[in-house]
Structure 1
Amino acid sequence: MPKEKLGVLCSGRGSNLASIIEAIERGDVGAEIAVVIADKADAYALERARARGIPAAAVVRKEYADRETFERALLDVLHGRGVTLVVLAGFMRVLSPVFVHAYAGRILNIHPALLPSFPGAHAHRDALAYGVKVSGCTVHFVDEGTDSGPIILQAAVPVLEEDTEETLAARVLEQEHRIFPEAIRLYTERRLQTDGRTVRILPADEGGPS
């Protein structure tokens, strides 16, 4: 079965990128990273990629007149590298329908909350302000909304009375590093079956053909 070619989009440190790279190198995920793209020229994720010999590119939003031309530049890089699955690993931008349609059903995102609670850019702050006792993270397919696509995997962590955004984020991140590579693995094994909002995980012997 041909390996999926991943295009990983990042905005910052790229710690989720690192967990994906490590899972691939261990042989846990049958895929290759075709390119890492950051929307900031100084994003450390680019250095992580280059240190492993992975092609890396900065497509900087402020260098483009509008979101459409920015996203078309992203798509040009992804298509040029033969990317079959787009992975949003800390990519802090909402993608337009133009981009989502180009990779419909082939975009995965990790969000640091138990969706549908606390979508958006301030999940930890919002969770603490609401007073929840449990938070966590979610891997989901990307649709045209904000963190609204069908849910693939989730992991929960307790919220402690003394938690700050930073301490909660650190514990949630540990779970992100665990479930994001797992979701990618399930996708590459054709074991994710979507029916409306429901994603069923097929047994290993029921995975579909490439």
Structure 2
Amino acid sequence: MSPNLFVLSAGTELWRCHETAYACTEFNPKPAHSFFGGNRFDATSEDRYPYLYAAVAPTTTLAEVMLRDMEFTGPEGRRQVPWALAATRSLSKVRVTEDLVLVRLIEEEDLAAVFQTSWLLETDEYAQTRAWAREIRRQVPDAQGLVWQSRRHRPHPALVLFGDRCGEEPLKAVPGQVHNLGTFEGAGEANQLLAPLRAVIIPPGMRA
């Protein structure tokens, strides 16, 4: 395996859609089940590490979290994000504090370099994609994360960082750049970003 690498430079600003109960710079320490649930490149009990998902564009991180398996419905053909999904989350901007080396999975050449095809980014068989992430980590011990083209907001990149391979504080929150999606104001900010994707968060009491 000879992966193509990408350096995420210190100072780069990223966006996260995360549980409001946790800090926007906080890595998830809980491994996903080896065979069920979870996300594409989560840690598992076979390879435990804190992990954190982010994106360069705010719309990308919203789409990655909110629009999974979401269909266009109603007379206007919009995707209606359940309030229960949005209300517990925030949209926050963070800044990278150190250069981070990521395995690049953007183009077909990048995927071929890790003996894969677009299947790795398209399939919903997350148990298998997590297993492949473990293999990439095993063969590329210097990799601090992965970057790929978002399935839900092409051609923009999404990424995951491996907390066990980053410094003590690889990310810092950008002051004043947090939107609580559990408020009308925060949901309104998110809806402006989601509108071109024909998606909307509808808080209680607000008409579709």
TM-score normalised to structure 2 length: 0.25
Higher relative contact order (CA 8 A, sep 6+): 2
Q: Give the number of the structure whose residues are more often helix, by fraction.
A: 1
